[in-house]
Structure formats: C-alpha cells, structure tokens
Amino acid sequence: MSQPDRDSSRPLLQRLRWVGGAFLLVAVAIVAQGMVSRAAQSARLHELTEAQAVPTVAIVTPTPAQDHAGLVLPGRLEAYIRAPIYARVPGYLKSWQHDIGEKVKAGDLLAEIDTPDLDQQLKQARADLSVAKANAKLAQISAERWQSLAGTDAVAQQDVDQRTFTLNANIAQVKAAQANVDRLVAEQGFKHLLAPFNGVVTARETDIGALINVGAAGGAELFVVSDTSKLRVYVNVPQNYVPSVPPGTQATIRVPEHPDRTYSGTVEASAQAVNSNSGTTLMQLIVDNSAGEMMPGDYASIHLQMAATSHVLRVPSTALIFDAKGLSIATVGSDNRVLIKPVSLERDLGTAVEIASGLEPSDRVIENPPDGIRTGAPVRLTGVGTLDADARQVRHPNEKG
C-alpha cells in the first residue's frame, strides 16, 4: 500500500477504536448499573425480611394483688351433729313414727322393735328369780332354826355354819338372778328407738316387718338424725397458705342451689397436719344454718379472707412461660428488646396469676409471648394494657367497656 493510502486509513481506524471503546463503556455501565440495582433490591428484601421477622406483641403492666380476691377453695358441708341410729336388740320392726325430713325433739319415738326372743328370755329370768328367792327363803328359815339351837348340845356348830353359808349362797343367787332380770329389762327398753337430740331425720333405712340385727353384729343403720341448725364446713387449705388462715378467719360461703346468697362462716379449728398426698391441711369452719337453706353434704365455694401482700403482683396467666428452666415471664426493655425473667408463683387465679418474686411493678410484660422467644430479641409493641379489677381480662386503651 502506498503512503497516501496508509495516511487516509488511520483516521478511520481511530474512529472505529473510539466507537468500540464507547460501546464497551456503555456495556460496562449497563452491567454495573444492573449489579448495583440488584444489590439494592437484595438489601431492601433483607431489610423487609428482617422487619417481618420482628414479632409484634401486646404488653401489660403488673398490678398489685387485691385483698378482695382472698383465697377461694372448694369445700363440703356436714351436719354439726350427726347420729346414725342402730338397733341394740334383735327382732322385727313393729312400727316407725318419723320419715326423712321431719323435725324431731330429743326423746321422740322414732320406731319400735318387736322382740319375741328377748321377751321370752325376760320371762325365764323372772322365773329363775322367783326360784332363787324361794330357795333363799327356805335357807333362811333353816339357818335361823339351827342358829337358835347353837347354844345347846342338840346340834353341832359345823351344822350351824353350814346352814348359814347355804343361806348366804342363796342370797347371792337371788342377787345374780335379779341382776339378770334388770339387764334384760334394760335391753327391752331398747325396743324403742328414740331421737338423741333436737334435729332432722335425714335418713330412714328400714320399714315395717324388716329383720333387725344388732348394730355391733353387722346390722345396718336404721335412722340418721342430724342437727342442721349449724353446719361444719371442711376445706383443704394448701400448705403455703396455712399460716395466713388462723382460727377466727372470716369466710364467705356460697352453695350452688342459692347462687345469689352468701353465708358467713368462721374458721374454728385446723387439723395441724399436712396430708402427704394432697399437700393440704384440713380446716373446719362453722356456719349458721338456722334458716335451713343449706344442706349437709352440699358442695360449697369457700372464700377465705386473707391479708393483702404488698409485694405480690398480678399478671395474665397467658404471660407465663414454662420450659426446662422453670417458670419465667418475658418483659420488654426500654430498647424494645426482650428480657426473660425467672419468677415464683404465689397463687393461680385461673385467668390471672400472682407473682411472688422476680417481677417489678415497672416491668412491661408481654401478654402472650410467641414460641421460641429469647432474651435480646427485638419486638414491636402494639399497646399497653392493664388487668381489670376482677382479674378476668386485659383491657387496652383502645378497648371500650
């Protein structure tokens, strides 16, 4: 190629180089912009994922335990005095005078037993007494005659002593026969079943013509008389509350058949022992039942009045966390991060629990902590609620009613 041709082709090559370089720069710019955009999208996706991973929780503030809740326990009512009536003599029921629900006074006749065997034994005993008296009379006459001859040589002293001893033996036989008659007469008195005190017949387990066996020999109870003017209330108090329920503690009692009525009772006695099976102590209360509205055997709800404990805080039961480490509660710090606190339980009220230790009044408690929550985890808050006065539900500021 000549020199002029070479000189004319150089500008063309330079333009081609410049155009190729421009295209290369544009391609690099496009690739770089795509990589930057993809990195920005990835960063936004990561931030969005992290934001969605932060749980949203509602928190409540602990409230001091109120005295009015007291200690509510189930109990049972029993008659102040209950006397099952058994037979002391065998026979057949001749008649009965009072049925269940009837009021009786002490000494009233409940029933009469026909006792033919006992009657015959009494007749025989009285006949034996008559024989013993006749023998004693004869021995007395004989002894007196021999004693009158004791100062003469007509009888020997030994014969006189023998007649005297025979008289003494016959007198003893008379006393024994008389005692046997008295015993049978006393037993015959048990033919009449009497009410031991003023009360109500709460059971009648026999009827006319029924065979009656002696109670100690396996015979069943025939009647039950109960004094229901006062009732005994038995309640099992958990061991940790026993010191807070001394004798004299007042209680409010409710029974299902009168849901709108309450009755006042007083703790009268404690068993002073803990049942190893239940971990409770049996306590006895006395309640007036002069109106007769409550019945022995009733189930009752016992509300024992206890002194308020200032350090006890109440939170919803849903706030409790049970795991291998024990009982704990999740709280939220000022940086909106979770802090798990171990706590000890004072009392379970059903929808709410009372915490004895491990919680402060200023703590923000997560009302319903999600599964797997851990210390240091961030959370978002929806609002702060409070437990209502009845410890039944949590109310938030945006709720009505």
Answer whether 0.75 is exceeded by the pTM.
Answer: no
Distance (Å, rounded) from C-alpha 377 to C-alpha 371?
A: 12
pLDDT at 50: 53
pLDDT at 230: 93
Distance (Å, rounded) from C-alpha 359 to C-alpha 184?
A: 77
**What single letter denotes the amino acid at residue 372?**
G
pLDDT at 7: 54
pLDDT at 401: 44
Task: Work out the angle at residue 85's Cα, subtended by the Cα atoms of residues 80 and 90, and round it to the nearest 5 degrees.
Answer: 170
Distance (Å, rounded) from C-alpha 382 to C-alpha 205?
A: 67
Supply the Cα-derived Rg of the chain in whole angstroms: 49
Question: For each of the chain's 401 residues, which pLDDT tens digit applies?
Answer: 555 555 556 666 677 677 777 777 777 777 777 777 777 666 665 555 555 567 888 888 888 876 545 688 999 999 999 999 999 999 999 999 999 999 999 999 999 999 999 999 999 999 999 999 998 888 888 877 767 766 666 666 676 677 788 888 888 999 999 999 999 999 999 999 999 999 999 999 999 999 988 875 566 889 999 999 999 999 999 888 888 888 999 999 999 999 899 999 999 999 999 998 988 999 999 999 988 899 999 999 999 887 655 578 888 888 888 888 888 988 988 888 888 889 888 777 778 888 888 888 888 888 888 887 888 888 888 866 666 555 555 565 555 44
Q: Is 121 helix (H, G, I), strand (E, B) or coil?
A: helix
Contact in structure between 227 and 241 (CB atoms under 8 Å): no
pLDDT at 69: 54
Contact in structure between 295 and 77 (CB atoms under 8 Å): yes
Distances (CA, A) of 100 to 152, 172, 192: 78, 49, 18
8-state DSSP, 365: E
